[in-house]
Amino acid sequence: MISGTDTLTVTESSAEITNISPNGIWVLSNDKEYFIDYKEYPFFTNASIRQIADVESDSFGNLHWPELDIDIEIDSLENPEQYPLVYNESSGL
């Protein structure tokens, strides 16, 4: 009988805000830059600069803002046509 251990390797990804403009946020994640438009992601419009700058990235490159409790999948930024659901404050969707 052969015994051994499996190991899980976690790769750290990096994310940083490169610009905050009146129209949205530019974020750099794993050497790619993405624009997050306030029209598409209105929950950032009242966030402070400190809250927006506090972005984390998981091993898949997905973005997370802990204090704002906001998560955005990188795939939704790269392929927005596959994510037609738009946030509406009155319905919560």
Question: Amino acid identity, residue 71?
Answer: D
Spatial CB neighbours of 6, under 8 Å, sequence gap ≥ 6: none
Share of the chain residues as helix, strand and coil, in percent rounded to the nearest 5: 15, 30, 55
Spatial contact of 55 and 17, defined as CB atoms under 8 Å apart: yes
State the pLDDT at residue 21: 95
Looking at domain 15-82, its CATH class is alpha beta
Q: pLDDT by residue (tens digit) across 15-62?
A: 999 999 999 999 999 889 999 999 999 999 999 999 999 999 988 889
Which comes out higher in pLDDT, residue 82 or 25?
A: 25
Is the pTM for the entire model greater than 0.75?
no
Distance CA 35, CA 19 (A): 9
- Per domain, the residue ranges of the chain are 15-82
Which comes out higher in pLDDT, residue 30 or 89?
A: 30
Q: Per DSSP, what are the bridge partners of residue 33? A: 28
